[in-house]
Amino acid sequence: MTDMSTLSAPARPEKAPSPLSMFEFWPGWIFYTPVVMYWIIMGLRYRDVSLPTAANPRIETGGLCGESKSSILNMAGETARRWIAPYTMVETGRNDTARALQAMEHAGLSFPVVLKPDIGCNGTGVKLVGDAAALTQALAAFPRRVSLMLQRLIPYSYEVGIFYIRHPDEAHGRITSMTYKEVPVLVGDGRSTVEELLHADPRTRLVPQIYVPRLRERLAQVPAAGETLPLVFTGNHCKGAIFHNCTADVTPELEARIDGIMHDIPDFHFGRIDVKAESAASLLRGEKFEIIEINGVGSEATHIWDSRTTLREAYAAQFMHYRETFRIGAKKRSAGWKPSGAMTMLRCWLRQRRLLSSYPMND
């Protein structure tokens, strides 16, 4: 696995190392049932289950589901835009490659780029594209009339999820969660196949179903001694990335930088900012990082997927964050903003679900 020695550990009692937490890969319906029940209870208390969608009222459903990634980034003012990795958009149809190349040229983008659906979640359909031929192949994997984002590949290695909350009546927001995302890597020994290396690793052998489909064509290959094989490109836990809770590392400099950026996105109060930084040290100084995307009400405080997190701690974090969405939504409602409504939430969720089922496997 990748060496994490350059990152400081959170200030918490030491626990014996564990490859996986007890609940890390439970079926979603089991883990999220208490969260949904809590949401319903809060909805009854505030007399509107869709109230959190008013927490970020300029975003469709507040970013709960079905929202456009580009529409959020497009709201960024001059200050915030400087920190966002450049991107452009293309819709699949006819002459996809030619139109995509033209859009890239107009945006000043060159290969490699990251191709991803404008409406999506959990890294589904995300592709690393190195040249025009790979672009043609990636575009062809999507159905017609799907909006896709082409974004510059950020040249930094540390990917981090930063959760930000600011109440409408507060001058400054705060970071409530920070998670370093590690890409698991196999290291060849010159004798073992990729499949054997997967089953020898203390973590990947417990969840081979996550990695095997993506590596199916390489399972019988024997990597040379010292050769490294990254197992996933996207920094998503459900796709195989390893998450480390580093909330305790947050500095005043980083918090001030994130607060300044998010103030430049109108009426944004709750969500996660996914970034890549040159190093842990530069990030904590609030320097040399770029934003990949900004997620709204539907995003999680991803530190809960650190294998050291207990089930009680995970639910406490989930409940606290979603309670805040109701509190913020109530304040925005009092200011005249309207929640999306339950039927709009359902319609957007069904649209997102349909689109996700049509996307190709991520890299």
Domains of the chain with CATH codes: 17-85+156-183+232-362 (3.30.470.20), 86-153 (3.30.1490.20), 188-231 (no CATH)
Closest CA to 177 of 60, 1, 10: 10
Closest CA to 60 of 75, 78, 48, 47: 75
Q: What is the pLDDT of residue 239?
A: 85
Higher pLDDT, 15 or 283: 283
Report, as an integer, the average pLDDT of 28-39.
97
Q: What is the pLDDT of residue 2?
A: 39
- In this predicted structure, the answer to whether residue 363 has a pLDDT above a threshold of 90 is no
Q: What is the pLDDT of residue 19?
A: 86
pLDDT tens for each residue of 1-14: 434 434 444 444 45
Report, as an integer, the average pLDDT of 53-71.
97
- In this predicted structure, the answer to whether residue 299 has a pLDDT above a threshold of 80 is yes
Alpha-carbon separation of residue 306 from 19, 24, 162, 174, 313 (angstroms): 10, 8, 14, 21, 11
Report, as an integer, the average pLDDT of 131-140.
96
Count helices and strands in the chain by DSSP H and E runs: 11, 11
- In this predicted structure, the answer to whether residue 229 has a pLDDT above a threshold of 80 is yes
**Model pTM above 0.85:** yes
Q: What is the pLDDT of residue 301?
A: 97
Please enumerate in sequence order all residues whose Cβ is within 8 A of that of 351, keeping only pairs 6 or more positions apart, or say none.
66, 119
Q: What is the pLDDT of residue 230?
A: 93
Q: Is 181 left (phi over 0), alpha (psi -120 to 50) or beta?
A: beta
pLDDT tens for each residue of 148-193: 999 999 999 999 999 999 999 999 999 999 999 999 999 999 999 9
Q: What is the pLDDT of residue 289?
A: 98
Classified as helix, coil or strand, 42 is helix
Q: Are 235 and 169 in contact (CB under 8 A)?
A: no
pLDDT tens for each residue of 159-169: 999 999 999 99
Report, as an integer, the average pLDDT of 132-137.
97
